[in-house]
Amino acid sequence: MTDILQALQEVPELSQVPKEQLQWLLDHSELLTYEAGALLFKSGEIPQNMFIILGGRIRIWFEQLGKAREIGSLEKGDISGMLPYSRLKMTKGNGLVMDQALVLATNKELFPEMIRTQYDLVEALVHSMANRIRNFTTLQVQNEKLLSLGKLSAGLAHELNNPSSAVVRVAKDLHQHLSYLPENFKRVIAIRLENEQVDRVNERLQERIQQGVSSLSLLQRKRLEENMEEWLEDHEVSLSDDALEVLIDYGFTEDDLDFILDHVNTREFTPVMNWVGNVLTTEKYVKEIKDASQRISDLVTSIKSYSHMDQDQDRHKVDIREGIHSTRRMLDHKFRRAKVDFETEFTEPFPKIHANPGQLNQVWTNLLDNALDALEPTGGIITFKGKQDGACLYVEIVDNGPGVPEEVQNLIFDPFFTTKEMGKGTGLGLDVVRRIVLSHKGDIKLESRPGRTVFTLSFPLQ
């Protein structure tokens, strides 16, 4: 027993407990050996013992929707089971022995005597219970945050990849296009035009640049291309394929060709129009780079707005609509993938509330993400509604998905409860939402039936 007593002294939570009190614990407990595959405790049973793990490893898991969900493990030096002053009524998980385990079990019937006579031991065990709750909750909340961050990061990587790839591709095309300029320059300087002729050509060119690239259907583009080729053939002039393509992009028609031909002679028409094509090609590439760069800039702005990187994290007056819209932009990729529309209905006047905007964005993220997961197979609509009623601001998040099954609606805000597949959720998303709302002195309720799910949040204005 001397070795066991020494092992108890090496348990971190019991290291400051007097030796005689540890001896009392050892004298009033049972030393048990569990083989791999045995259950130390079982979900749904009434806890009877405190367990101190002196060797081996125990996996803690519970079953949900027919699947095993691991929530932690016990190893040498860990304390589990029923503890003094614990309000645990029923074991919520299973303790599966993975490696042969040596366990010191103390029946809870001894707790009253322990409380009366072994003060230091009880104090250490109470601290152990508090630490266990705090550490376990912190770990799971962190897992939930990491899961949410992973989803956002994957979406942002996808969103940033498209415009950044476009910048690289178009920059390469622009570089190749500009490499032809020295040769084209020879043709340009050979053109003999009066200033007035140049002004007329530039006038029409700038009109088309201001108009921008035309939105043409395939049929419209094909018809315009045929008309332009027919015009060129009738007037016995030619254009490069690249020049003709970009002219069509910018909406040039036979009327534009007639206009330019009226101001330059036939001999100068082809080099002039090829020069126009070169200008439009450069303009098109620059515009594409500008648009892609602006998309990247908008995403960075949305990230800053969502995370409030340039603001302090203290509570202050905020317009929650800004956070809702920035969160919507952060999840834009998922809305498109799920084919879900987003609508808002905010009734004026819409007051600000005293809140932490970063925490509220966690609320909007979790609620939107859950609604998107529910709607993803078939698409649908998510609507944010908001209005002031008396001394409170009410926000409703409505979706037309399949709804939350009635038998689990009372469990939806419980920690670790989830209806998602394994690996898609920790079961803490709505628990985090509830705790954030309550920390703002607000409330959250769920109403759900097939075709309509509504989360109603209320926040005090003062």
Q: What distance in Å separates the CA atoms of residue 283 and residue 450, rounded to the nearest whole number?
A: 52
Based on the fold, state whether residues 210 and 111 are members of the same structural domain. no
Based on the fold, state whether residues 132 and 16 are members of the same structural domain. yes
Cβ atoms of 454 and 398 closer than 8 Å: yes
Q: What is the pLDDT of residues 269-291, one digit of tens each?
A: 888 888 888 888 888 888 888 88
Does 208 have pLDDT greater than 60? yes
Range of weakest confidence among 29-43, 104-118, 133-147, 283-297: 133-147
Q: Does residue 175 belong to any structural domain of this protein? A: no
Q: Where are the beta strands (DSSP E) in 127-216?
A: none
Q: What is the pLDDT of residues 67-88, one digit of tens each?
A: 676 777 888 988 888 888 887 7
Report the pLDDT averaged over residues 153-163: 68
Q: Does residue 161 belong to any structural domain of this protein? A: no
94, 120, 143 — which closes off a domain?
A: 143
88, 121, 143 — which closes off a domain?
A: 143
CA 276 to chain CA centroid, nearest Å: 46
Nearest to 303 by CA among 327, 333, 276: 327
Based on the fold, state whether residues 97 and 184 are members of the same structural domain. no
Q: Does residue 23 belong to any structural domain of this protein? A: yes
Based on the fold, state whether residues 243 and 326 are members of the same structural domain. no
- Position 422 confidence tier, pLDDT thresholds 50, 70, 90: very low
Domain holding 245, by residue range, is 180-290
Query: Which positions ≥6 away from 422 have C-beta within 8 Å?
Result: 67, 69
Nearest to 395 by CA among 340, 429, 436, 427: 436
255, 290, 325 — which closes off a domain?
A: 290
Based on the fold, state whether residues 319 and 453 are members of the same structural domain. yes
Does 397 have pLDDT greater than 90? yes
Q: pTM (2 decimals)?
A: 0.49
Based on the fold, state whether residues 104 and 195 are members of the same structural domain. no
Query: Which positions ≥6 away from 330 have C-beta within 8 Å?
Result: 152, 155, 156, 302, 303, 306, 365
Query: Residue with structure tokens 């969502």?
Result: 306
Based on the fold, state whether residues 258 and 335 are members of the same structural domain. no
Based on the fold, state whether residues 330 and 421 are members of the same structural domain. yes
Based on the fold, state whether residues 215 and 335 are members of the same structural domain. no
Ranges of H-type helices in 341-428: 357-375
- Please give the helix or strand (H or E) that residue 73 lies within, else none: strand 67-75
Question: What's the CATH number where 402 sits?
Answer: 3.30.565.10
Based on the fold, state whether residues 335 and 279 are members of the same structural domain. no
Check whether the bond before 349 is cis (ω within 30° of 0): yes
Q: Does residue 164 belong to any structural domain of this protein? A: no
Report the pLDDT averaged over residues 195-200: 78
Q: Does residue 369 belong to any structural domain of this protein? A: yes
Based on the fold, state whether residues 80 and 132 are members of the same structural domain. yes
Q: Does residue 360 belong to any structural domain of this protein? A: yes
CB count within 10 Å of CB 104 equals: 21
Q: Which residues pair with 1 in a beta bridge?
A: none
Q: What distance in Å separates the CA atoms of residue 395 and residue 388, rounded to the nearest whole number?
A: 9
Q: Does residue 297 belong to any structural domain of this protein? A: no
Based on the fold, state whether residues 318 and 415 are members of the same structural domain. yes
Q: Does residue 245 belong to any structural domain of this protein? A: yes
Query: Residue with structure tokens 């040498």?
Result: 76
User: What is the count of structural domains for the chain?
Assistant: 3
